[in-house]
Amino acid sequence: MADQSIAAATLRRQLERLYGAQHDIDVLSDRVDALLAARAAERSPELQALDAQRSADPDWFVAPDMIGYSTYVDRFAGTVEGLRTHVPHLESLGVRYLHLLALLKAREGDSDGGFAVADYLSVEPRLGTMADVERLAARLRKARISLCVDLALNHTADDHGWARAAKAGDPHYRDFYHTLSREEAMEREAHLPQVFPATAPGNFTPVPEMGGMVWTTFYPFQWDLNWANPNVMLAIIDTMLRLANHGVEAFRLDSIAFLWKQAGTDCRNLPQAHYIVRALRAALDIVAPATLLKAEAIVPTAFVPPYFGADDGAGFEPECHLVYNNSLMVAGWTALAEQSAALPDAIIRASGGLPRGANWLSYARCHDDIGWGAVLGDLYTIDPDPVARLRRAARFMEGAGDSWARGEPFQSDGSALHGTNGTMASLAGLEAAGNDAQAREAAFRRIRLLNALSIASGGLSTVYMGDEAGLLNDSSYRSDPQRAHEGRWLHRPAMDRAALESADAKRITGDLAALRDARIASGGAGAPAALDSGDPTVLAIACGSDRVFLNFSDRPVTIPAPKAWQDRLTGARLGETMMIEAWQVVWAGPA
């Protein structure tokens, strides 16, 4: 198998780049090879068949009908076993990819929504067992749905077995983490931004048992892994392959921008972080090539495409099959707030092509806040004061003035630019609309508009649980001592089965289905392309054979139309010009 020997050479090259200066690479390579052989021997015939099938068709997931769904297991279905009974709901949405958050055993107490993992190889006991996950994965596979789980690569929980051994003084595991003196930590801190400045300020936490300050980029109970130690690489490769052998078909690589630490830098997006991801990809390509990697890199737009891979002189080295198009998501909300298509247009134009076997993951909302900073660089080309501009957009989304949006600031009191929380429906105006029929209609249009952006832009378009039912902000977390400090719970409501049967849900799921059908008819998937729309408030996107027009303003706009084409959403035949109503979508396809 030629592909396997290429992957093996790629893997070895990364080991050399990462560890060559300090370690004997022949010895390390032998250890990695033994690990890969052991995991390969355990792979089931069924999964091996899937490996063969997908290796022969690397673009299998770059398809017009690829819709994803992301959810917490407990909030959606109680347990993993319970989730099996909801597979028909996923099928009705056309879902082909299911991302389960917080599936693995988390830390006791606050666990950052499951992102403080205590054991990568067991399932959170409240939710079920690994046997349940295997059964679910098999059931999903029958429905052509790939199961995705998070692999939190940057940190473990402070009660993970590795961390407990480290605290107990085991030198092997102490070296799994970064422990610094107070002075060193202060020197590093000066170069580092903060992810949670309000609830977890600073990047280091004093841990007496470790004899110093432990590197904790996120919450103090999330200990950053020391990837400069090859034993961490071995342990994570082993974990990933074991999970793949349980039937997991995709990994969401959490926080991958942060993996490598280097003095004097902001420790984000360093070349070594990419070498790590390439090594993981090569290991998967050798043992479990049916499996997808997805990058979660919430960083400035320009730093994102390299997570697909790059050619650093040794030929193209692939990284992730899927990468979150975070900037386009942020741009969609910005466009709504400022009634201008300028930012999404600029981002699509700058986003470039895609390698083979790769696609964006597009989305309107997820379990995290809308982080505004990622698009600052893109705005510089449009506006001399992008900070003020984004702050206006954020304030609008947080309900300022006569705004219809009902978001809340995240990690700031609203004066600094950071993030905004809220469910899709509340942010789009359904909460503020109350019973006002006109305001409700406007909110449904804005929901469809952002779903259209996600679908027409060609990515694996992923719905966040509850958004298909128009669930509103849920403030109940404020009375739970374990969650009260964490505003992102505002948009993590539990599924409301009655809401799923409501007219609101029917409207939203009906719109989603129509958009999906239109994309299937267009044959479009993959890298997006922007077109000139003829009006600054209208975004025009090419999707397969079609052209999709999104009006981000609150008034009707008349622009040139592709004459004699039809609007796939209404069936209307188009003339020389068309009027697009406020917040409306025209999906034009050759008649």
The residues carrying an active-site annotation are 254, 296
- Of 231-239, 363-371, 493-501, 526-534, which segment contacts ligand OTU by CB under 6 A? 363-371
x/- mask, ligand OTU, residues 406-425, rule CB under 6 A, reads -------------x------
The correct pick among 158, 368, 431, 535 for binding ligand OTU (CB under 6 A) is 368
x/- mask, ligand OTU, residues 256-275, rule CB under 6 A, reads -x------------------
Give residues with Cβ within 8 angstroms of 447, minimum separation 6.
Answer: 424, 425, 428, 430, 467, 470, 508, 511
- Of 102-110, 291-299, 333-341, 346-354, which segment contacts ligand OTU by CB under 6 A? 291-299
For ligand OTU, the binding residues in 167-196 under the rule CB under 6 A are 195
Q: Does 486 bind ligand OTU (CB under 6 A)?
A: no
Tell the smallest beta-carbon distance from residue 262 to ligand OTU (Å).
18
Q: Does 255 bind ligand OTU (CB under 6 A)?
A: yes
Q: Does 254 bind ligand OTU (CB under 6 A)?
A: yes
> What is the rounded CA–CA span in Å between residue 428 and residue 444?
8
Smaller CB distance to ligand OTU: residue 99 or 516? 99
Calculate the alpha carbon distances from 567 to 515, 526, 575 in Å. Answer: 11, 22, 11
**Closest residue to ligand OTU in the complex (CB):** 115
- Of 28-36, 250-258, 286-294, 445-453, which segment contacts ligand OTU by CB under 6 A? 250-258
Tokens of 74: 């407990």
Smaller CB distance to ligand OTU: residue 370 or 582? 370
Q: Does 369 bind ligand OTU (CB under 6 A)?
A: yes
Tell the smallest beta-carbon distance from residue 59 to ligand OTU (Å).
27
Nearest to 210 by CA among 176, 182, 168, 172: 168
Tell the smallest beta-carbon distance from residue 257 to ligand OTU (Å).
6
Tell the smallest beta-carbon distance from residue 185 to ligand OTU (Å).
20
- Of 15-23, 112-120, 389-397, 583-591, which segment contacts ligand OTU by CB under 6 A? 112-120
- List the beta bridge partners of residue 177: 225
- Of 241-249, 253-261, 329-337, 491-499, which segment contacts ligand OTU by CB under 6 A? 253-261
Give residues with Cβ within 8 angstroms of 80, minimum separation 6.
Answer: 73, 103, 123, 127, 128, 129, 132, 133, 136
The correct pick among 19, 97, 115, 587 for binding ligand OTU (CB under 6 A) is 115
Q: Considering CB under 6 A, how many residues would be counted as binding ligand OTU?
A: 17
For ligand OTU, the binding residues in 548-587 under the rule CB under 6 A are none
Q: Is the separation of the CB atoms in 471 and 493 below 8 Å?
A: yes
Tell the smallest beta-carbon distance from residue 423 to ligand OTU (Å).
15
> What is the rounded CA–CA span in Å between residue 324 and residue 94?
20
Strand residues in 243-339 grouped as ranges (E): 250-254, 292-295, 309-311, 316-318, 322-324
> What is the rounded CA–CA span in Å between residue 82 and residue 276?
36
Element (H, E) at 227: none
Tell the smallest beta-carbon distance from residue 348 to ligand OTU (Å).
22
Q: Does 215 bind ligand OTU (CB under 6 A)?
A: no
Smaller CB distance to ligand OTU: residue 60 or 477? 477
Q: Is the separation of the CB atoms in 573 and 566 below 8 Å?
A: yes
Q: Does 124 bind ligand OTU (CB under 6 A)?
A: no
Tell the smallest beta-carbon distance from residue 430 to ligand OTU (Å).
23
User: Which residue type occupies 315?
Assistant: G
Q: Is the separation of the CB atoms in 47 and 245 below 8 Å?
A: yes
Q: Is the separation of the CB atoms in 225 and 253 below 8 Å?
A: no
For ligand OTU, the binding residues in 20-79 under the rule CB under 6 A are none
Q: Does 298 bind ligand OTU (CB under 6 A)?
A: yes
Smaller CB distance to ligand OTU: residue 289 or 306? 306
Q: What is the dihedral of CA 115, 117, 123, 126, to 10 degrees?
A: -70
- Of 53-61, 292-300, 313-321, 428-436, which segment contacts ligand OTU by CB under 6 A? 292-300
- Of 14-22, 23-31, 59-67, 111-119, which segment contacts ligand OTU by CB under 6 A? 111-119
DSSP labels, 492-528: -PPP-HHHHTSHHHHHHHHHHHHHHHHHHHHT--SS-
Q: Is the separation of the CB atoms in 15 and 218 below 8 Å?
A: no
Q: Does 120 bind ligand OTU (CB under 6 A)?
A: no
Smaller CB distance to ligand OTU: residue 120 or 444? 120
DSSP labels, 7-54: HHHHHHHHHHHHHTTTS-HHHHHHHHHHHHHHHHHH--HHHHHHHHHH
For ligand OTU, the binding residues in 134-153 under the rule CB under 6 A are 152
Smaller CB distance to ligand OTU: residue 449 or 463? 463
Q: Is the separation of the CB atoms in 287 and 39 below 8 Å?
A: yes
Helical pair 326-338 and 437-456, crossing angle rounded to 10 deg:
150
- List the beta bridge partners of residue 323: 295, 360
Q: Does 345 bind ligand OTU (CB under 6 A)?
A: no
Tell the smallest beta-carbon distance from residue 276 to ligand OTU (Å).
14
Tokens of 300: 């400035």
- Of 362-370, 440-448, 466-474, 496-504, which segment contacts ligand OTU by CB under 6 A? 362-370
The correct pick among 58, 78, 82, 113 for binding ligand OTU (CB under 6 A) is 113
Q: Is the separation of the CB atoms in 369 and 417 below 8 Å?
A: no
Q: What are phi and psi of 576, to 5 degrees?
A: -70, -35
Tell the smallest beta-carbon distance from residue 406 to ligand OTU (Å).
19
* Longest pairwise C-alpha distance within the chain: 75
Tell me which residues touch ligand OTU (CB under 6 A): 112-113, 115, 152, 195, 218, 254-255, 257, 296-298, 367-369, 371, 419
